[in-house]
Chain A
Amino acid sequence: NAGVTQTPKFQVLKTGQSMTLQCAQDMNHEYMSWYRQDPGMGLRLIHYSVGAGITDQGEVPNGYNVSRSTTEDFPLRLLSAAPSQTSVYFCASSYLGPDNEQFFGPGTRLTVL
């Protein structure tokens, strides 16, 4: 089992560019989520999904889109990158919902210039 994988590990973007952060899991987990981690602010929920075809907004959704066409994949799209989106992004998955152990991916460090 690879667990939760994320690509890329590092990315530098210019303001206004768009990109997609990839996340995949091979544990057949229903619940998947995206967090951003900024110094002193903990992990903040961007979007989450309770199953294929179902997504919802978290605490800080503005500027990001998600889709869940399969159980395995949960990509995060930045529509028009801004310097405020410079952060470390973690994808996580769990059995059924947020009230079970979250398995995190290795993270993507994004810098927006």
Chain B
Amino acid sequence: GENVEQHPSTLSVQEGDSAVIKCTYSDSASNYFPWYKQELGKRPQLIIDIRSNVGEKKDQRIAVTLNKTAKHFSLHITETQPEDSAVYFCAASIDRVFGNEKLTFGTGTRLTIIP
């Protein structure tokens, strides 16, 4: 099955600086890569996702890049703010037409923004 590795497990950055979280996946058939944010005591929520026909996607201060050849994808947060402090999870899924109906998550990155 799919294996998703996520690094680093913890990350502290100064407010206003950029943060980068990286994930690698094992199954070359994976083609959907979402990122979820989980604030303390809350449920995970989708912040951005990318599909394999796109190399980069941006939404205001967040962006995701995908390198299918190397089987890795990254989350970039620019101009970080205190409200960006949370745990971030990457995930990977194979297109359901291949019969796999599972979403596999990474182990998470705890991001702390230092004021």
A positions within 8 Å CB-CB of B: 31, 33, 35, 40-45, 48, 50, 56, 58-59, 90, 96-99, 101-102, 104-107
The 10 lowest CB-CB distance pairs between A and B, nearest first, are A98-B103, A99-B32, A104-B43, A97-B96, A42-B107, A43-B105, A98-B93, A42-B105, A101-B46, A99-B93
Within B26-84, the residues touching A (CB, 8 Å) are 31-32, 34, 36, 42-46, 49, 51
Q: How large is the interface on B (under 10, 10 to 19, 20 to 34, 35 or more residues)?
A: 20 to 34
Q: Is chain A's binding surface mostly helix, strand, loop or mixed? A: loop
**Are B105 and A58 neighbours in the complex by a CB distance under 8 Å?**
no
**Cβ-defined partner of A98 (8 Å) among B9, B46, B51, B96:** B96
- Assembled-state Cα–Cα distance A31/B101 (Å): 9
Taking CB atoms, residues of chain B closer than 8 Å to A31 are: 101
**Cβ-defined partner of A33 (8 Å) among B6, B34, B89, B103:** B103
Rounded to whole Å, the gap between the CB of A4 and the closest CB of chain B is 8
Taking CB atoms, residues of chain A closer than 8 Å to B101 are: 31, 48, 50, 56, 97-98
Rounded to whole Å, the gap between the CB of B21 and the closest CB of chain A is 13
Taking CB atoms, residues of chain A closer than 8 Å to B103 are: 33, 45, 98-99, 102
- 12 pairs, A vs B, C-beta closer than 8 Å: A31-B101, A45-B104, A59-B104, A97-B93, A97-B101, A99-B31, A99-B51, A99-B95, A99-B96, A104-B45, A105-B43, A107-B43
- Assembled-state Cα–Cα distance A31/B108 (Å): 23
Given contacts A45-B102, A96-B96, A97-B101, contact A40 B43 (CB under 8 A): no
**Cβ-defined partner of B49 (8 Å) among A45, A50, A97, A101:** A101
Rounded to whole Å, the gap between the CB of A35 and the closest CB of chain B is 8
**Cβ-defined partner of B108 (8 Å) among A35, A42, A98, A107:** A42
Given contacts A99-B95, A105-B43, contact A40 B9 (CB under 8 A): yes
